[in-house]
Structure 1
């Protein structure tokens, strides 16, 4: 602590001495001039450097502040422009949405009106239905033959199914006769028009030729299943008795020349054989071609079955003819199965498919009236 005080006192003394000595020295000597310049220059430059740095710093701060103010003003102007543009777009959008909103409102109003009209129509239909059910129940209670009429209607409907869907006119005729028996058992003279319509329908259905489609289809199925078992044609070489006698070698030694000639001829015949045939040669097929032949024949028979169900007489006969032609050309005609198959196809080819021209039974409307109202409606009431 004492050393620090002494140093401080010494520095104060030196400063006072220098400050007191400067006004006294007017013209220093040449020897002391360099020493005084070296001591005076640092003291003169130190106070002059500090104000310029502050000025430059303040100037830079002013520039930064001005730039930030200018940038903020520019951003403010851009924000104001964007807000103005957004306001214009919002106004345009609101103007554009006015017409769709009006249209939606009108559609909602129309939908409400339509729903109200539908509800009213449904209510009216339900009311009419309930009234009709009540009337039918009253009529059914009054008429004890109601269930017989229902049964006759069901039999006529079943006859139509047998005739148009199953192509069975004989069963349809039986069902129509059963329906006529139900109407007859009611013993009501007012139902004579209905019985006349039923008799007309029975005569029309009975005139339809009964084509046994199901039996024909089963016969074609049997032929298709047996096609793989039918033998195909094979080329056979038949030699006449004269050719065999000419080629035989005799056992006599005297015929050695002829035997030699026959042996030489047989040797030559092993290389080249030329024979004349007076009949058509049976075609030969490779194994893969045999498979295609059988499959194509099956396909034609399946097409014939489809034509039966569609009542297509032309395609049915063409398919049967083509299948029979292939069997006749490529299968063994000496085999009994092949012969039976060809005979069956010949019989099936003569089958006539008769289409049903009846579109609707004449008694259907009358039966509906009888079931619904309990009696036949006249033209005036209809």
Structure 2
């Protein structure tokens, strides 16, 4: 770029020396062009300043918009952060609940495993001692059956217990059980050889006798007999009219017949009334005729209780109580009830049949089977 000529101070002489490049010095008319150049420079600077201001304004607007966008994004980020914190808290709570449930499940799993181990051990013990358990069960069943046999005479129950024990032992392959099965077979033969007592039939007869008690008349219930009505004698037929003598005789005979009929009727009625007022009977207990309705009710109920006690004694095979209650019931019937009535006679016949039943049967024991089982357990 060409150097601009420097202005000299007034009063100073300008020397027109040649320039460095050998160009001649500028003429005075160049001052106008210099001023124009300066104006252009100023204009360029002004335009540049305007451009810089416009650039600054645009940058300022962009920065403001960026600030607003950043602020909006910060707000959105804060809200997202809050939601994230809430979600994190809920996830932490859920995680704690899951950890608690997992710990409970682990405890249950440990408990289940321990129970499974205990069951496996128990199964092994049962598998090892299966015969011992079977023998212990058979001993308990035989002991119970023996007690029932001795106390209540339950032969059928003892037979069922022995048969079950024999079938239980037959399922085992132990040859040592042969001795026990032999003892059980002997006890079975002993029970089957016992005489059969018809306990059901005797109990049914007693029930029938109990049912007849309410219909049996008491001695105090007897009512006077009603007089029997006799037909009047028919009047004799008259003969055909044959004369005045025959007519007079027939009239006299009719009068005598009517008089005789009235006399017989009056005497029979009087005798019937006298028979109803006075009756002679042979009664062993006079107080039986004087029972009040309340006492009659208790007499029937006491007889029923006697028969029920006899039934219980029959089922328990108590021979003494059975006989005693039957005798007391028969005495009560003979004392308070009318033995001429059909119901009373039927009840007495039933009691005589029941009294003929023999309950005294010597019951065998199951000692041989029990001893065989106990000896095997003591010396396996």
**TM-score range for the pair, normalised by the shorter chain length:** 0.3 to 0.5
Give the structure, 1 or 2, with the largest relative contact order (CA under 8 Å, sep 6 or more): 2
* TM-score normalized with structure 1 length: 0.46
* TM-score normalized with structure 2 length: 0.47
